[in-house]
């Protein structure tokens, strides 16, 4: 299953680059995004059942932090940290009574379809990157630390220009001798995100100083005044 997700995510950017880029306006939707939420790990050792919710590991408290830097035309970079505890209540790689914790750090390249969809409520995206997983527990089938290759997808639901909810799922392939084996796992997340826009004005030839701020106002669409209205307003008396 993870190998199929990897293939689809690998081919998607190539297909997108071969098409014309359409956008409502040339402004970037944000400069920096950050968020927090819950990290949910699926590493029960049964790759065929990706919806075994009763075997997934999660915390009651928020266990994920992320930051995202926007580059250009849908491309951005994401840094994410995730944490989970193994309490011996659920399976880990087909093993019972596994206790300890897992910690992951990842750097992913992200492509967003937000501008292609008209910059509205929905902001779907795909990710691909690399990371590392610290696996400190009594699991005898997986190393205590291993690098990963990450592929996945997600979606942001934007309620205004600043605040939204993010859902994401990623397949993490362990770069060990057991390739496409026990170190592989799925990592899901749900949380809140905040994005900051770059705002600044400058005259031609001047250095432009940019400031980051939250913009929660709805954007107004300006319509150009007719030429007759402009002439009448300048020269004619009421």
In angstroms, the CA 9 to CA 15 distance is 10
Assess if CATH 2.40.160.20 describes domain 2-235: yes
Strands 75-87 and 64-72: antiparallel
Count of residues for the chain? 238
Q: Does 168 have pLDDT greater than 90?
A: yes
CB-CB contact of 116 with 23 (8 Å): yes
HSE at residue 204, side-chain half, CA atoms within 13 A, is 0
Residue range 147-162: average pLDDT? Answer: 96
CB-CB contact of 179 with 173 (8 Å): yes
pTM of the complete model: 0.74
34 forms beta bridges with 67, 194
In angstroms, the CA 32 to CA 28 distance is 11
Tokens of 81: 């940290």
Phi, psi of 100 (to 5 degrees): 150, -145
Q: Calculate the alpha carbon distances from 37 to 61, 69, 154, 159, 193 in Å.
A: 8, 18, 14, 17, 9
- Domain definitions of the chain by residue range: 2-235
Residue 211: pLDDT band (50, 70, 90) is low
Residue 219: pLDDT band (50, 70, 90) is low
137 forms beta bridges with 100
Give residue-wise pLDDT tens across range 170-208. 999 999 988 889 999 999 999 999 999 864 444 433 334
Element (H, E) at 137: strand 122-137
Tokens of 193: 């995100």
Give residue-wise pLDDT tens across range 61-98. 999 999 999 999 999 999 999 999 999 999 999 999 99
Q: Does 226 have pLDDT greater than 80?
A: no
pLDDT at 88: 93
In angstroms, the CA 115 to CA 161 distance is 13
């Amino acid at each position: 299953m993870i190998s199929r997700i990897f293939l689809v995510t690998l081919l998607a950017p190539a297909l997108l680059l071969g098409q014309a880029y359409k956008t409502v306006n040339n402004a970037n939707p944000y400069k920096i995004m950050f968020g927090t939420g819950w990290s949910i790990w699926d590493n029960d050792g049964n790759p065929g059942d990706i919806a075994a919710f009763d075997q997934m590991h999660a915390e009651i408290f928020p266990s994920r932090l992320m930051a995202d830097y926007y580059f250009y035309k849908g491309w951005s970079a994401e840094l994410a940290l995730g944490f989970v505890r193994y309490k011996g209540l659920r399976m880990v790689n087909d093993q019972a009574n596994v206790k300890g914790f897992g910690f992951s750090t990842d750097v992913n390249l992200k492509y967003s379809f937000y501008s292609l969809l008209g910059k509205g409520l929905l902001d779907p995206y795909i990710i691909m990157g690399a990371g590392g997983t610290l696996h400190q527990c009594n699991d005898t089938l997986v190393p205590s630390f291993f690098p990963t290759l990450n592929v996945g997808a997600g979606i942001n639901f934007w309620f205004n220009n600043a605040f939204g909810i993010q859902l994401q799922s990623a397949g993490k392939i362990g770069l060990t001798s057991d390739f496409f084996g026990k170190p592989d796992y799925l990592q899901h997340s749900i949380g809140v995100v905040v994005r900051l826009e770059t705002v600044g004005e400058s005259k031609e030839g001047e250095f432009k100083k940019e400031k980051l701020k939250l913009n929660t106002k709805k954007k107004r669409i300006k319509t150009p005044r007719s030429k007759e209205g402009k002439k009448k307003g300048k020269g004619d008396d009421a």
